[in-house]
Every structure is written in C-alpha cells, then in structure tokens.
Amino acid sequence: IFWLFTKSWSSDIRLDGKTAIVTGANTGIGKETAKDLAMRGARVILACRDLLKAEQAAGDISRDVENANVVVRKLDLADTRSICDFAELIYNTEKSLHLLINNAGVAMCPYSTTADGFETQFGVNHLGHFFLTFLLMDLLKHSAPSRVINVSSLAHHMGKIHFEDLNSEKSYHPVKAYVQSKLANILFTRELAPRAEEMGVSVYAVDPGLVKTDIIRHLNKSLQFFVKTFGFLIKTAEEGAYTTLYCTLTPDLPTGAYYSNCAMAPYSRAANDDNTASRLWAVGCHLLGIHWK
C-alpha cells in the first residue's frame, strides 16, 4: 500500500541554458514534467504524435509559466520513419540536448501493430524509445553531462520478456503485453547505463506510481470505476511527475538504477537478469536494423 502515500518533493535547481525533450508531453505526467522544466528555465521540446493537442499543451504551459521556452515537434513512436524525421529535425535545429525524457506510452490497448509491424505496446513503449535514444545519443554525448529518463512502471514486477513471441502474434493479452514493455524499459536502462556512462550520459528508470491520466482509457469498466471511485488515493499527474523530476534534477544519482517515490527502489527478479537484458538489446538492434555496440 506504500504507493498511496506520495512523498512531497521539491527542488530549486535551475535549468537555464539546458534543452530537454519530453515525449508524450501533451497530457498527463509528460505535460506536468514539461511545465516544471520550463519553470526552471529550460528550453523544452514537446515531442508528440498529435500536433493539435501538443500546441494546446504548449499554450497552457506558456500561459502558466512566464517566458516559457517551449516548442512542439511531431513524433510518432509507432513509426520508425517519423522517429528518424524527428531526430533529423532536432540535429538541424538544436545545438544541444541535456535531457531526454522517454515518457510517452500506451497501456493495455486492443491488439494492433505499429507502422513497422511491431505489437503496439512493445513497439511504442520500448522499441520506439530505444530507437529514439540511439539516434539522439551523439547529441546527448556532445552536451554531457546529460541524462536519459525512461518512464517504466511498478507493473514491471509482473512482466516477463516473451522472446518466443515478442510481438504477441501467437497470443495477445493487453496486460501481458503492457507489463512486458515496462520490464523492457528497465532492462534497456540497465544495458544502456554502462555504455553511456563513459560518454557523460546518465540513465534512469522511473515508476511514476498509480496516476490518474488518460492512459486508463483502455482499462475495463470495473477498473475504471475503481480509479474514479478511489481517485483520492491515486496521484495527480503533477505528483506522478515527481520521480521523473527527481531523477532529472538530483545531482550524483547512481546511473542505471530504478526509482520510485523519489527514492531508489528494487528491480524485479526478471529486471535483474543480465542475460535477458543483453539479449533484449541484441533483439532490439536486429528488429530495428541498427548497430549499437
């Protein structure tokens, strides 16, 4: 029941002169994260699939934050072509990138596939961010010290990587696919951390807690009822952003670790498995056709 109690957290660290990308920043935790970074003086890029909603979010942030430096860029994580176009635009328009916050996600949706034929939850939540991080690594390295934050979930404890059926072609269960993708976020964090550390890039995985956001739209009616009825126990989107911000701003945090409620938290046993982590890395490179040492 520990997740019911939200640690209140604050920091007066400024981010003037820093550039941040937040994926899925048009709503929920992503929007609150972007707003907080803008208040600290960062230049914030809202990387979103729906440009109309993203422009609205940018307008909201600019209304709430004096002199906010927010820009909207199109990014569809369900399409590697779009991820390439986004990365190219970033290299052409930004001199530096200090913070990459891989926040966007889909949860427990009916079966569908991405433009490249991956099961949507695995494709968006894991492979899309894996590919985006790969493409932006040179800019992160060039801007070091910099950070990558991967938003995972406590639900990763229920996850298992189904190497024999990663795309759920044999059988699909929305929850099974979701928890697999969230476990993949942590395995990716663990594999990336030692590689990125020598370049001055730190990597963190984050559990935002149980948060009332749009992500519940695919839950079944009884779960939606629970979320609405016991809403007072559940974090607001602003509280859900605390741990992301904690990992973004706190100096000298150990890289490669998993954080929940603004503190380091234990991985699941599956997340601690080095073989699974390196195998998933290799499979991701193979599926995306990239060579990432």
* Helix pair 80-93, 129-142: axis angle to 10 deg: 20
Looking at residue 259, the DSSP 8-state letter turns out to be E
Say if CB 49 and CB 75 are below 8 A apart: yes
Q: What is the CA angle 62-67-72, rounded to 5?
A: 50
How many alpha carbons fall within 13 Å on the CB side of residue 8?
0
Integer CA distances (angstroms), 257 to 150, 152, 190, 204, 265, in order: 11, 12, 7, 6, 8
**Catalytic residue at 178?**
yes
Helix or strand (DSSP H, E) at 178: helix 174-197
Catalytic residue among 178, 242, 258, 259: 178
Residues with catalytic function: 178
